[in-house]
Amino acid sequence: MLKNEYKICLAGNPNVGKSTIFNGLTGLHQHTGNWAGKTVENSEGICIYNNQTYRLIDIPGTYSIMSDSEEEEIARDYICFGEYDCVVIVVDGTCLERNLNLVYQILEITNKVVLCINLIDEARKKGIFIDTNKLSKILNVPVIETVARKKKTLKKLLEKINDVCVKNVCYKNNSNILVRNRYNENIEYCIQVLMDSLVKKIQDKQLARWVAIKLIEDNRKIIHKISENLNIDFVCMNEEINHTKKILSCFGMSKANISDILIEDIFKNIEKLSKEVIITKEKYFERDRKIDKVLTSKIFGIPLMLLFLGIIFWITIVGANYPSSLLTSFFTMLEEKLSIFFDYINSPLWLKGVLVEGMFRTLGWVISVMLPPMAIFFPLFALLEDLGYLPRIAFNLDSFFKKAGTTGKQALTMCMGVTKWYCFVV
């Protein structure tokens, strides 16, 4: 007989090994489907440990619960309003500081958290060491290091999950220690003003603080979701909300910039925490800093970026001509053979036209023209990503793209779009 089933939410940034951990824990006991009313795929699986059943839900990867894409909205809604017994936040040990943004945001919502530092073997190769005991003490959550491919480390992760779900190893909601992220004094004052009203509607002080932060942030989508899921009518709080808006506006904080200020305060806390718990070999990062001084400099950054992208585009276009011509010759030869075959069996002209001169010839053209550029361009882009140059391109273009209402990351998809457009035109 198995005891109660516990729901475990697996959260984390994209490409941190979350799905590998999910597969390692659930094995064959998993299935996929779509979120209700959405086209985004979800994965659920069963894991049994210490005679307890754990249902793992692998939510889409997200960098922040403030994001607005469909996948990230699903992740946000499940973290904020889903029914689960524990959240396992998977982070990349090689870039812990970047991943802590999501960790801090989730810790504002729930204290039933296990922090899983994955890829710890890669981190050690790079000379990065993390003081997990100190990190656990500061964040007040269990912290475990894992290598997703090694079952031994996954067993230790299950032990921590078991501690939170079965042994209830977490901090009480009325504990001041749950306020892990402090904002500037003006925002903290406004949070307290709103909390005085919210605690009457929400018994959970931690959740009330998070709702207060979202009211200050004034994101209509999230506020509507909060009202819908927690059954709260914010109309009766208009006086307090307007009062806090006036206070914040006096200090130059409005709806246009409040999100940036909140994120900035989070990253100040993250930077302080990282200095305390992350130990690095200076020589390893010294090389990266020297490269950054050149690749992201105001003088050389943009010209070098244009040079690299121009070389990749040239290699893609020129290099694709050779395999493209070979594929064209190959499909032309096959078309001739098929034509001879259809003539041999006395096939009607209309059938030969549809199958050979229509479907097969079109298929041959598409493969000959589209496949070679894609087969060259995407591996080259993947190589740039592995070398760490794509984030530097995004950094170089971020200020320009912000003026157009987007971010530097959009430049990368635009590069892919240009190549696809060229292939289509050709």
Residue 126 is assigned to a structural domain of this protein: yes
The reply to whether 129 and 211 lie within a common domain is no
Residue 405 is assigned to a structural domain of this protein: yes
pLDDT of 35 over the 50 cut: yes
The reply to whether 318 and 420 lie within a common domain is yes
Mean per-residue pLDDT, 371-375 = 85
Alpha helices in 132-281 (DSSP H): 132-139, 151-165, 185-198, 205-217, 220-230, 238-250, 258-277
Instruction: Give the model's pLDDT for residue 175.
Output: 46
| C-alpha span between 117 and 131 (Å, rounded) | 11
> How does pLDDT run across 96-129, given as a tens digit for each residue?
998 999 999 999 988 899 999 999 998 988 888 9
Judged by DSSP in three states, 170 sits in coil
Lowest mean pLDDT segment, chosen from 25-29, 70-74, 285-289: 285-289
Instruction: Give the model's pLDDT for residue 380.
Output: 85
Residue 191 is assigned to a structural domain of this protein: yes
> How does pLDDT run across 394-416, given as a tens digit for each residue?
888 877 877 777 777 777 777 77
How many domains, in total, are found in the chain?
3
The reply to whether 161 and 190 lie within a common domain is no
Domain that holds residue 256: 181-279
Residue 172 is assigned to a structural domain of this protein: no
Instruction: Give the model's pLDDT for residue 33.
Output: 62
- 416 backbone φψ class: left, alpha, beta (φ>0; ψ -120 to 50): alpha
Question: Which residues are CB-contacts of 104 (< 8 A; sequence separation ≥ 6)?
Answer: 180, 181, 266, 269, 270
The reply to whether 361 and 270 lie within a common domain is no
The DSSP string of 258-314 is: HHHHHHHHHHHHHHHHHHHHEEE-HHHHHHHHHHHHHHT-TTTHHHHHHHHHHHHHH
pLDDT of 376 over the 90 cut: no
Q: Mutual orientation of helices 282-295 and 389-402 as an angle, nearest 10°?
A: 50
Percent of the chain at pLDDT exceeding 70 = 89
The reply to whether 324 and 416 lie within a common domain is yes
Instruction: Give the model's pLDDT for residue 282.
Output: 59
273 pLDDT band (50/70/90 cuts)? very high
**pTM, full prediction:** 0.72
Instruction: Give the model's pLDDT for residue 68.
Output: 66
pLDDT of 55 over the 90 cut: yes
Instruction: Give the model's pLDDT for residue 92.
Output: 93
51 pLDDT band (50/70/90 cuts)? confident
Q: Are 26 and 45 in contact (CB under 8 A)?
A: yes
Instruction: Give the model's pLDDT for residue 421.
Output: 65
Mean per-residue pLDDT, 338-342 = 89
pLDDT of 202 over the 90 cut: no
pLDDT of 425 over the 80 cut: no
Average per-residue pLDDT for the chain:
84
Element (H, E) at 390: helix 389-402
Q: What is the DSSP letter of 359?
A: I
C-alpha separations of 264 from 100, 104, 279 in Å: 13, 12, 23
| C-alpha span between 51 and 64 (Å, rounded) | 35
For residue 223, what is the domain's CATH number? 1.10.287
| C-alpha span between 220 and 212 (Å, rounded) | 13
The reply to whether 54 and 150 lie within a common domain is yes
